[in-house]
Amino acid sequence: MRIFQNLCFRCYLANKIKTLTKWCTCGKTCRNCTLTKKVSLSILEAEWSCTYQRGIPFINIPTTLLSMIDAAIGGKNGINLNNVKNAVGTINLPQEVIINPQFLMTLPHQQLLNGFGEMLKYALIGNKTLWDELKALKSIHYQNIKKEWVNSCMEFKEKTVQKDLYDTGLRHILNFGHTIGHGIETWTLNKYGDARPCISAEKIPHGYAVALGMVAESYLSYCHGLLSQSAYEEIRTVILQNYNKILTPLSDDDISEIVKLCLFDKKNIDGRINITMLETIGKASPDHWVSEEECEEAIRNLIVEA
């Protein structure tokens, strides 16, 4: 993984692109060329690279906070199918991840919040010091996003993936907030189409949905006796002050549909919903079974308390 600033990034990228475009000028199939003529900037293009001719090497150059600390790292590539999140995909590590924090200057506020949700996740599952620093922020702005925070998140994910590349156990902690979060995100996609507005007619990006999912799954951690009430209330307060897109009003049928979508999560076994819980702020515990009724209660509680 390479982290660049300004001119050194442009020089390196210019040289790399010369290599990346080899295959389209050589006049023949060339599997030993590094990638396609276009640098892979998304999970979709990474998935294409993993399937074209049974896979060719690819490079990720993330340009958002979300992709820098999460999507570009770890080798998960995929697409949605029938509005189910990541229904088809592969696990194949990029040849390289090239990061230039200067891209953060170009992001609208919503995209910063989108990535900040994942940053909060890393703090909650493995870094109490980072959580204390993040919760003290008065506003989310690219100038407030410290390079050290970005590095900490990247390193945490990289180390976790090295221990469990194929997502069979330990890596499940990275999905904290995602089981219910993906249910919420997919429900809005199914109900409203590509625009994906929530009840307030605004979009719910991935990071927002995961943030709401973390509140719900923290509640389940509290209900199962792992997380203290004070820790749960702190998490709820910090997250909802930044992510106030509350899904309300929701009918019983709506909540039931969201929970049914949670059943598509890849960690589930034999139709049982498997989530990551928190033992305390900064320590996650993977692989806990919860019932559909418990998930419904967590979503209702999220709405009522908001």
pLDDT above 70: percentage of residues in the chain? 78
The answer to whether 26 and 18 are in contact (CB under 8 A) is no
Structure confidence by residue, pLDDT tens digits, 61-109: 899 999 999 999 999 887 777 767 777 888 989 888 888 889 999 999 9
Q: Where are the domains of the chain?
A: 2-104, 107-305
Average pLDDT, stretch 132-151? 94
Listed in sequence order, the residues at least 6 apart from 181 whose beta carbon sits closer than 8 Å to its beta carbon are 206, 209, 210, 211, 212, 213, 214
pLDDT the model gives residue 144: 93
CATH topology of domain 2-104: Rossmann fold (3.40.50)
According to CATH, what is the number of the domain 107-305? 1.20.1090.10
Higher per-residue confidence, 230 vs 305: 230
Using alpha carbons only, give the angle 76, 7, 150 rounded to the nearest 5 degrees.
40
**CA–CA dist 147, 149 (Å, integer):** 5
CA neighbor of 94 nearest in space, from 60, 118, 143, 122:
60
pLDDT bin (cut points 50, 70, 90) of residue 141 is very high
Structure confidence by residue, pLDDT tens digits, 9-65: 555 555 555 554 554 445 444 444 444 333 334 566 676 677 777 788 888 889 999
CA neighbor of 23 nearest in space, from 12, 11, 38:
38
Q: Is the pLDDT of residue 240 over 70?
A: yes
Residue 271: exposure state from Cβ atoms within 10 A (0-12, 13-18, ≥19)? exposed
pLDDT the model gives residue 248: 66
pLDDT the model gives residue 31: 46
Q: Is the pLDDT of residue 193 over 70?
A: no
Using alpha carbons only, give the angle 12, 50, 6 rounded to the nearest 5 degrees.
20
pLDDT the model gives residue 200: 42
Which residues sit opposite 290 in a β-bridge? 273
The pTM for the full model equals 0.85
Which residues sit opposite 286 in a β-bridge? none
Mean per-residue pLDDT over the chain, rounded: 83
Q: Is the pLDDT of residue 219 over 60?
A: yes
Q: Write the DSSP symbol of residue 165.
A: T
